Each structure stands twice: as C-alpha cells, then as structure tokens.
Structure 1
C-alpha cells in the first residue's frame, strides 16, 4: 500500500509539472484539432476539372501526389485559388504549390495574430486556423537537399507564437533556424506545429490524448514529405513533443528520432517504440523536467526516462545546455551533436 501511495503521489506530481516550454503555469483543457482542413466539403463537391478530387479525409499522400502530377499548371493554379486552405494542407501536394496556397490562406484570415506568417519570403508548408491555429514553416530547400529535419514542439505552442522572438530556442521556429545555421545551411528544417499542444500544466500535459492526436498527424506529415520528394527526416522532439514522437514512432517515416527535455515517450524502452529509426535522447541537469516522476498510472505520466541507460537510446551530450529551452542555443554541445545527427554524420553516441 505504501508503494502504491508513493506511485500515486508521483503521478499527481507529474500532473502538476509535466509540460513544455513554461513549466510552472496553470493548465487549460484543450480539444485536439483533427480531421481534414477547412473547406474540404467544397473541395469534394468541385467538379470543375471533370473528375473527382482526392478526398482530404481518405486519400493517402501518395495518391495526392499522383493526382497533382496528372494536372496541368493551369489546373493546379485554379485549385490553389479556389481552395487555398485545402491545397495548402494536403500532404503529398507539391511543396511550392503549398507555399503559395498558404500565403493566400494566411492573408485571407485578416487576423493580426498571423501577420508575421504573411511576410514575404516565408515558406509556410501548412496553416490551419482552427482552434489556436497550427502551422509548419520550412527553412531551406525541402526537396532539393539530402538532409531534412523536423522540429516537433511541446506545450504552449501554436500558429500565433511558434516563432515568437522572446525565448527563441524554446520555439520550433527558433530551434529550426538554429539547427539549420549549425549545419552550415546543409539541411532543410521544418518547424512543425501541426497538432494541438497542451497549455501550461495540468491533465492535458500529463495525459496522452493530445499526443495521440498529434502522433497521427505527424505520421501523415512525414509520409507527405516522402510523397513530395523530400528525404527521410530526422525528428527533433522537445518536451511534450517527445510524447507525440513516441506514440508516432512505429508509423513515422524518419531516419532518426531525437528527444530532448523529455518527460517520457510512453514506452518502456526503445524496442517498445517499434521503430527502425535510430533513437537519441538528451537532458541537461538544470532542466526542470528532471523533477517530473517517470511514471505512467491511470493515464497520467509518460513512463520511462529516455535518457535512462536501460531505455536504450543513444546518448546526446547536454552538459552545456541550460534549462528546459537551451538545447538549441548556439555554441552548446547539444546543438553541435544535433547538427551532426541532422547531417547524417554519426555512429553510436555523439560527443
């Protein structure tokens, strides 16, 4: 009974501490945004090409890719103008077409929260205004490089703040830009905020519902990258994002999965992830996530610490990282290691 009480207390503590970038704020229950993009009904009803359009809810990224390959440039432009939110979020559609579609979709929102996303030159690969908003931005030439990485963020991130200027290395955009710079521009990096993240701390951050919804979206996103001609990516999964990556590991199209500041991956060990990808883990001593008990009880908590020796992940040094959002800070050992992994230059652990 005493052991049970200690475990239960640990689970309750996980509820109050597990989270993402802020760590010590009140949580607010979130409903996951899932399903096909806004405008899908009008898209399915569109008979202007004299043929059925691929159903965003059921067509695979490979089927979407083949459909667009069969169109003339004029037909592609027509669909883009008529259905920008659908074209911009169709995994498997041509990357350049998605950039153009999302530029139109962001400007059409007339929402000051998204003014920065509408700036010229930004490569927005996905944009969904539902809920708190979701977005993905590409740094570099996604289909013209040998190395691709995807940053999967933790709590408190959405389309309006995924590139905020304060605490830049705690945002997917800041992480992506720092990683690309550390590789000497030899990689393309996607800042992916493609799921509903928890807000602050609370049951959402300690539970797995949002992560399960995000895992399905992440798996499809990586399949879409392959269908569009991009290389198999390395996933960099921060905090609650590592829970998403853990649940998606068996289905994602990825060469490596790197978790940092992780509260757990909802797996007992690497074998439990059922993935062929190499799995890496980093955690610095000053990261408050170290205080989160690695338990999973009654749906709360995320299980084993991925940096534990018996978990079986490859080690990433993080002695020079500071806090929960310092892993991508320029000059840190963790960023140097991440850059080596992103460039495909590693064997075994990195130093």
Structure 2
C-alpha cells in the first residue's frame, strides 16, 4: 500500500511540475552561473593562465613561482579572478575576496577576520568561507547546502543550522580543535524554493563540476582529502560529483536522493554515509525518477548500501548540526576519520 501511495504521489509531483500549477512548482527558475570568474577577460589580456583550462595544480605552481609583490599586485588588480581561482594560496584568496566584498556591498563578508575562500557577485552571488586554518589542517570538511543558499543568505541568523555557515561553525566546534578546517561552500547556483529546479538535476550538474574543481584545488594546495557533508539538494550535487573528486567521506543528510541507485553507482572510493531524521519532511518526497524529475533512491534505505548516521534526535530538515545531537557528534567523528 505504501509503495502504491508513493508511486501515486510521484505521478502527481511530475504532473504538478510540468503543468506549472501551485504546490511543488512554487519556486523561481534559476539559470546556473557558469564559465570563468568575473574579470577573466582583463586577466587573460595580460597573458595570465586561462581560469577554466588551467588545472588547479598548474595554478598553484604558477603562483608559487611569483614574488610576494607580484602576488599582491594580482590581488589588487584582479580580485574577482584571484579570489575564485582554485589552486591559489588561500591567504591571497581571502585578501582578494575581502576587496570584492567591499566593492559589491557584501558588508558582512568583509568583516575583519572572515576567511572568504570564494565570492562571485554575479546573479544571487556565490560564496565559500573557511573556519579554521586550511593551510595546517589535518582534517578538512566541506558543507554543501541545498536550496535557497547564496552569498547573502548562507550565514543568515534565522535558522542558523540550516545555513552552510552555521553548519560549518557547529561542525568545527564539535571537532574540539583537532586541527580541523571546515569550508561552508555555497559555490553553486541553488534552487529557490520547491520549484522545478529542486526536482531536476540541472543545477546540481552545474554545481558538481564546481565542487570537483574545489576538491582539485584542495589537492593542489596540499590539503587532505575532505569529508563532504551534503544537505538536501546539496546531496544531489555530491552524488553527481562523486566520480570526479577525491574525498575521504561523502555524507548525505536530509537527502531527496543522489541520482544513484546505490553506493556502487556513485563510483567513489570514499566512505558513503546517510542520515535522515524521523521528523524531516524530506521523507514525504518520493524517491523516484520520472521523466527527469526526482532524484532516485533514498540513501538511508538499506538497499542503497550507505553507512547509517544516527539522527533520531535531529529536529526537522535543518537540525542535523544542532549542538548536542547524535548526528553532530557522528559528523565530527567522520571528519576526524573515525569509525562510528
């Protein structure tokens, strides 16, 4: 009976999205921001490395060969390129993105002491922030958020543990300073609301390439392979990115599906984990794919094959990183490479 009900819900979901009626199709369609960082044309006119075609490893070698004065000059004249270029030393990226934040009205991101790893002001804005010392970290985690996150909302004070910044801060605190760096990564164009974008994989596919390049940039700067914590639609991004990136762990939490039938379908050597609270509304979303809609199997289902993360005391869709929860304690252990 439950299976028949979920199948019926899936058909209704598909019909609702395609017809554009009320309900699920309540979001605003988004176009992913793709291509090189803003300012790349001026950068390349000076004969500097192509931001798209040059690998993060080659970018790292290019910057390592520059004098400190030349590095500072590039930060000053090309902040939007330097600040978003994976492979650039992180301190240079922080300095460049502080300039971009001030120039484009992202005042909170320009506050002293903030370590903004990426800031693309185009569209709704995309941002990433580091908590901890990425240069000396023995363990690295990346928080990949779901819908409604951008450069202006990713550290909002409302519902803090539902934002990438709040999740990242809480996770780092839970590791108790074990030389851990956590990256809050709102580095892709996310869906807005529960519209067609949230039901399809288009934005996730665009985000997957950017996430894979982030991981390549971590490799290029000597950081350890990260643990990815992929919330909601962010788990769709991680599922599509998994075959293309080096990661120690991939954790899907509050996931509508990863566009994979099972762990083997992800084609990753990482440990794969899944968490879902009994009170999470995501459980009402059918785990199907129909005419390009929906994201497939539930990562917490036994047949999927992921390791389960205890999440019985997490409240709702955004309570997984709340202090004191079993899920947060488990996330900290995963970040540190421990077994549960």
Give the SS at the match of 1:250. helix
Give the equivalent residue in structure 2 for 1:236. 229
Q: What does the per-residue CA deviation read over 1:152-174, in whole Å, with 9 as the maximum and x for residues that have no partner?
A: 00000000010001100000000
Give the equivalent residue in structure 2 for 1:49. none
CA RMSD, Structure 1 to Structure 2 (Å):
1.8
- Among 170, 177, 180, the alignment partner of 1:178 is 170
Q: CA deviation at 1:7?
A: 3.8
Q: CA deviation at 1:12?
A: 3.8
Give the equivalent residue in structure 2 for 1:71. 66
Separation in 2, partners of 1:124, 1:16: 39
Q: CA deviation at 1:105?
A: 1.1
Whether 1:245 and 2:229 are equivalent positions in the alignment is: no
Q: Cα 1:281–1:15, aligned 2, differ >3 Å: closer, same or farther?
A: farther
Give the SS at the match of 2:86. coil
Give the equivalent residue in structure 1 for 2:13. 13
Whether 1:266 and 2:249 are equivalent positions in the alignment is: no
Contact kept? 1:11, 1:293, Cα under 8 Å: no
- Among 215, 218, 229, the alignment partner of 1:225 is 218
Give the equivalent residue in structure 2 for 1:339. 332
Give the equivalent residue in structure 2 for 1:96. 91
Give the equivalent residue in structure 1 for 2:55. 60
Q: CA deviation at 1:26?
A: 2.3
Q: Cα 1:167–1:4, aligned 2, differ >3 Å: closer, same or farther?
A: closer
- Among 112, 129, 135, the alignment partner of 2:127 is 135
Separation in 2, partners of 1:11, 1:96: 50
Give the equivalent residue in structure 1 for 2:249. 256
Displaced runs of 4 or more, over 3 A: 3-9, 14-17
Contact kept? 2:24, 2:195, Cα under 8 Å: no
TM-score (norm 2): 0.94
Whether 1:285 and 2:278 are equivalent positions in the alignment is: yes
Contact kept? 2:24, 2:196, Cα under 8 Å: no
Bigger relative contact order, structure 1 or 2, given CA contacts below 8 A and separation 6+?
A: 1
Give the equivalent residue in structure 1 for 2:28. 28
1:308-323 to 2 correspondences below 5 Å: 308-323=301-316
Q: What does the per-residue CA deviation read over 1:10-48, in whole Å, with 9 as the maximum and x for residues that have no partner?
A: 15437879xxxxx989200000011110000000001xx
Contact kept? 1:143, 1:231, Cα under 8 Å: no
Give the equivalent residue in structure 1 for 2:294. 301
**Where do 5+ consecutive residues of structure 1 fail to align?**
18-22, 47-51
Give the equivalent residue in structure 1 for 2:20. none
1:78-227 to 2 correspondences below 5 Å: 78-109=73-104, 111=105, 114-186=106-178, 187-227=180-220
Separation in 1, partners of 2:16, 2:59: 42
Separation in 2, partners of 1:223, 1:213: 16
Q: CA deviation at 1:143?
A: 1.7
**Where do 5+ consecutive residues of structure 2 fail to align?**
18-22
Q: CA deviation at 1:151?
A: 0.1
